[in-house]
Amino acid sequence: MHQLMTSREMARISCPSCEGCGDCCRGMDDTIHLDPYDIYILCKGLSTTFDSLLEKRIGLHVEEGLVLPHLLMGKNEACTFLGPDGRCGIHAIRPGFCRLFPLGREYDGEGFGYFVVEGGCPRPGKSPVRIRKWLDIPELGRWEAFVSDWHYFTGDVKKLLRAGENADLNRRIALFLLETFYVTPYRTGEDFYAQFYERLETAASALHLSD
C-alpha cells in the first residue's frame, strides 16, 4: 500500500545528483504514455501536429482496446528528445509522465493521489520538495482535474470495449477516440481545457457515457 500525497505535500524526490544521467529517458519501451494535454503542449511548443510527431517522435500502442500514443525510443533505446548531454531537449514542454518521475499516481475511484515509486530513480541523496513545485505545471488544479477526468473517462470506455462483442465496432470506437482527442488538432493559441471538455462531452454523448 502506497502512502498517497496531494500536490501540496513534500516528497523526498529532488535529485541534486541528477546531472544529465538520463537513465529514466532510456529503455522505456512504450511506457511513457501521452495524454491529450501532452499532445497539445508538444504541438504548441514544437509548432507541429500529431501526425508529424507520429513519424519519428511518438508511437501508438493498444491498451485494453484503446489506441493511445507514447514517446518513441530511438537510437540506443533513448527517447528521441534526449540530448547528447543527457538532458531533455524539451524540458519546458516535457510530458506529464516525465514531470512526475519518480512519482506515480494512484486512483481511488474519485480522484488520485501521488506516491513515490520505489526504486524509480536509483541515484542516492534525494531531498524533499513540494510536489506542486516538482511538477511545475501551470494551472495545476485544472490539470489535476483533467488528469482525473481523462482517467475515469478512458476507464469507462475500456469497460464498454470489454463488454462489446463486436470487434469491428470496438475498433471503430478506439479509432474514434484517437481521432477525437489526439489526431484532430487543438487550437494551440486557445485554452486547452475548454477544448478538451468540449470533446469529452461530444465523445461521452456519442458513446452514451454521459450519465
Binding residues vs ligand SF4 (CB under 6 A) = 15, 18, 21-25, 32, 71, 79, 81-82, 88, 90, 94-95, 98, 121, 123
What is the biggest distance separating any 2 CA atoms in the chain, rounded to whole angstroms?
53
3-state class of 82 per DSSP? strand
- What lies within 8 Å, CB to CB, of 183 at 6+ separation is 50, 51
Cα 124 to chain centroid, rounded: 26
Closest to ligand SF4 by CB, 58 or 174: 58
Min dist. Cβ of residue 12 to ligand SF4 (A): 13
Closest to ligand SF4 by CB, 81 or 112: 81
Closest to ligand SF4 by CB, 24 or 203: 24
Min dist. Cβ of residue 14 to ligand SF4 (A): 10
Min dist. Cβ of residue 56 to ligand SF4 (A): 13
* Side chain identity, residue 125: G
Min dist. Cβ of residue 203 to ligand SF4 (A): 27
H or E stretch at 66: strand 66-71
Closest to ligand SF4 by CB, 73 or 200: 73
Are 74 and 185 contacting, i.e. CB atoms less than 8 angstroms apart? Answer: no
Cell of 121: 530513480
